[in-house]
Structures are given as structure tokens and as C-alpha cells.
Amino acid sequence: MRILGLDPGLRHTGWGVIEKQGNKFQFLAAGTINPDDKLPLANRLAELFESLSDVIKLWQPDTCAVEETFVNKNPNSTLKLGQARGVVLCVPAIHKIPVGEYTPNQIKKTITGVGHAEKNQVDMMVHTLLKNVPDKIPPDAADALAIALCHGFQNIFIR
């Protein structure tokens, strides 16, 4: 089963693709989508939509996992994140790919065993569980791989 993990953001959306075979996982690819922040919001969302569509067409995942939105102190930031997240949920749905959603604490607990793990702990476990992940991977891409792993572990007994 090929899993696409997505860490939504308007400035940086991380994506990561892994392959699950039984209870083993293999890293395939990861990256970030960085819409031009000089563009109007609608154009940035369109750029996110198109770039994510390209990732899906290239990697053809069987399933997708997205991090749920947490509430920021700044309501404007939360609203913009929600708009980006809407695009991130919509694109796989358009391609008929099932989407799972996980809270940040669910992801951290699944990957590290601790629901309030630090970012560096999550990154270390991503590199431990997926042996061939490049050392210098962008943080949003590493988070997306953690989201994909969480989805794979949560569904380990389904397939």
C-alpha cells in the first residue's frame, strides 16, 4: 500500500510518500510545496492545488493522511491554515483517494510513544523507521512522513 502523508500549510505544505508491505515501511519520496507568498490568497491556494495534484499523479498513492488543524492564538493564521487544509483534503478526494486525519498528538504518540514529543524526536524516529530518508530533509516533509507512518501504523492490521 502506498501512503501519502500531508502536513498542510499556506506557506509550506509538506508531503511524503511511503510504501507499506506487511508491517514494514519504505521511504519513496518527500518534499514541500511552497506557494509564492507574494501572490493573492486565491492564487496561492490554486498553486497548492496544482502542485499537490502533480504529486498525486506522479506517486499514485492508495491512501492519504492529513494532520488535523490545531488552533493558533492568531485567528487570522488559523483561518489561512484552514483554507490550505481544505485544499489539501480536497485534492486526494478529487482523485478518489481515501483520506485519514490525525491530530498532532496522535501522530507524535504513534511515532515516538509520547504525545507531546519534540520535533527533533519525531524527526529522529522518522529516520529510524525509514532507513533511506535523506539527512537534510525539510521539517515539513519530515512531518509529512511522520503523518504517513502514523496512518500506516494505525491501519497495520487492516491489510
What is the separation, in whole angstroms, between the first and last Cα of the chain?
Answer: 8
Q: 74: which DSSP letter? A: S
2-154 in CATH: which number? 3.30.420.10
* CA–CA dist 50, 26 (Å, integer): 26
Q: Among 55, 57, 62, which Cα is nearest to 2's?
A: 62
* CA–CA dist 44, 129 (Å, integer): 33
What count of other Cβ atoms lies within 10 Å of the Cβ of residue 37? 9
Every domain of the chain and the residues it spans = 2-154
What is residue 159's predicted lDDT score, i.e. its pLDDT? 41
Burial 77-103 (b: 16+ CB within 10 A, else e): eeebbebbbebbbebbeeeebebbebe
Grid cell listed for 68: 488535523
Q: 73: which DSSP letter? A: S
pLDDT in tens, 48-103: 999 999 999 999 999 999 999 766 678 888 888 899 999 999 999 999 999 999 99
Question: 7, 19, 54, 62: which is the annotated catalytic residue?
Answer: 7
pLDDT in tens, 116-131: 888 889 999 999 999 8
Question: 62, 123, 140, 143: which is the annotated catalytic residue?
Answer: 140
- Catalytic site includes residue 67: yes
Grid cell listed for 55: 504529486
**What predicted TM-score, i.e. pTM, was given to this entire model?**
0.93
134: pLDDT strictly greater than 50: yes
Question: 67, 101, 118, 135: which is the annotated catalytic residue?
Answer: 67
- Catalytic site includes residue 140: yes
What is residue 38's predicted lDDT score, i.e. its pLDDT? 96
